[in-house]
């Protein structure tokens, strides 16, 4: 093969690589505060787009998406479990159809510590405190963790629902969650970008355990 053909071949290979990169990269996260975390989660197969190359960082998280993200981030599964009958999402949740893309995530959640109401609405958006609670429950169900006795001061502590307080506190202590100007904003609908930050920090936290 002469030098001219080698150059053409190398050029073709480089163009294919660039083309693949553009196909698989999210086109709408450049400049987002969580750009790095989103792309890192994408590399690990945790963060997937809404369609093609769109991640929609400002979009709100639904129970379906939130559960799926957490299941992927913590690699929750039922591979080690044995069942007399194959479990179906509809066996446990009245509003989760078995043919939906998130059905398997709800099954994995059911058996891995994520406490969900049986009449949960998968397409309903969730708040920051609700996402934090699901994440913490899944994390502590999978790993035997000990936390230091510490109470983080939160300016809007009174707005946090009592049943979610422990989860919020422990995630703050673990640096998985963070405050914004002293506030947690528990009742705010969490965005995909905000969830990505907490998920990536969870991944790093788990990595530090190994």
pLDDT in tens, 70-80: 999 999 998 88
Whether the per-residue pLDDT at 173 is higher than 90: the answer is: yes
How would residue 54 be classed by pLDDT, with cut points 50, 70 and 90? confident
Contact by Cβ (8 Å): 46, 199: yes
Q: pTM for this structure?
A: 0.85
CA distance 181 to 167: 20
Shortest CA distance to 77 belongs to which of 101, 106, 49?
A: 106
Q: Please give the average per-residue pLDDT across 126-137, as a whole number.
A: 97
Residue with tokens 């994995």: 108
What does the pLDDT look like over 147-156, one tens digit per residue? 888 899 999 9
Q: By residue range, what is the domain housing residue 53?
A: 3-209
Average the pLDDT over each of 28-42, 46-60, 95-109 and give the range with the smallest value: 46-60
Asked which of 48-52, 84-88, 154-158 is least confident by mean pLDDT, the reply is: 48-52
DSSP H or E run through 162: helix 162-173
Residue pair 133/164 in contact by the 8 Å Cβ criterion: yes
Domain count for the chain, please give it.
1
What residues have CB less than 8 Å from 86, skipping those under 6 apart? none
Residue 6 has pLDDT above 70, yes or no: no
Higher pLDDT, 148 or 185: 185
- The SS3 call for residue 161 is coil
Nearest Cα neighbor of 193 from 30, 68, 24 is 30
Do 164 and 132 touch, CB atoms closer than 8 A? yes
End-to-end CA distance of the chain, in Å? 49
pLDDT at residue 160, as a whole number: 98
User: If pLDDT is split at 50, 70 and 90, which confidence band does 23 have?
Assistant: very low
Q: Helix 128-142 to helix 192-209 angle, to the nearest 10 degrees?
A: 20
Residue 19, pLDDT score: 38
Confidence of residue 24 (pLDDT cuts 50, 70, 90): low
* Residue 3 pLDDT class (50, 70, 90 cuts): low
pLDDT at 63: 97
Q: What is the pLDDT at residue 32?
A: 83
Report d(CA 42, CA 54) in Å as an integer. Answer: 12
């Amino acid at each position: 093969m002469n030098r001219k053909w080698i150059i053409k071949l190398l050029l073709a290979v480089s163009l294919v690589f660039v083309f693949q990169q553009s196909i698989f990269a999210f086109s709408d996260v450049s400049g987002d505060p969580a750009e790095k975390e989103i792309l890192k989660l994408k590399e690990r197969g945790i963060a997937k787009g809404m369609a093609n190359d769109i991640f929609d960082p400002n979009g709100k998280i639904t129970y379906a998406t939130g559960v799926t993200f957490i299941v992927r981030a913590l690699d929750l599964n039922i591979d080690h479990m044995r069942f007399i009958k194959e479990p179906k999402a509809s066996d446990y949740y009245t509003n989760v159809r078995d043919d939906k893309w998130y059905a398997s995530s709800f099954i994995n959640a059911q058996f891995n510590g994520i406490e969900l109401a049986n009449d949960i609405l998968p397409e309903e958006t969730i708040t920051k405190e609700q996402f934090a609670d699901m994440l913490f429950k899944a994390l502590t169900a999978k790993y035997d963790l000990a936390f230091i006795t510490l109470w983080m001061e939160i300016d809007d502590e009174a707005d946090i629902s009592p049943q979610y307080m422990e989860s919020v506190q422990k995630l703050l202590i673990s640096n998985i969650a963070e405050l914004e100007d002293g506030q947690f904003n528990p009742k705010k609908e969490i965005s995909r970008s905000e969830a990505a930050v907490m998920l990536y920090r969870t991944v790093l936290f788990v990595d530090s355990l190994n």
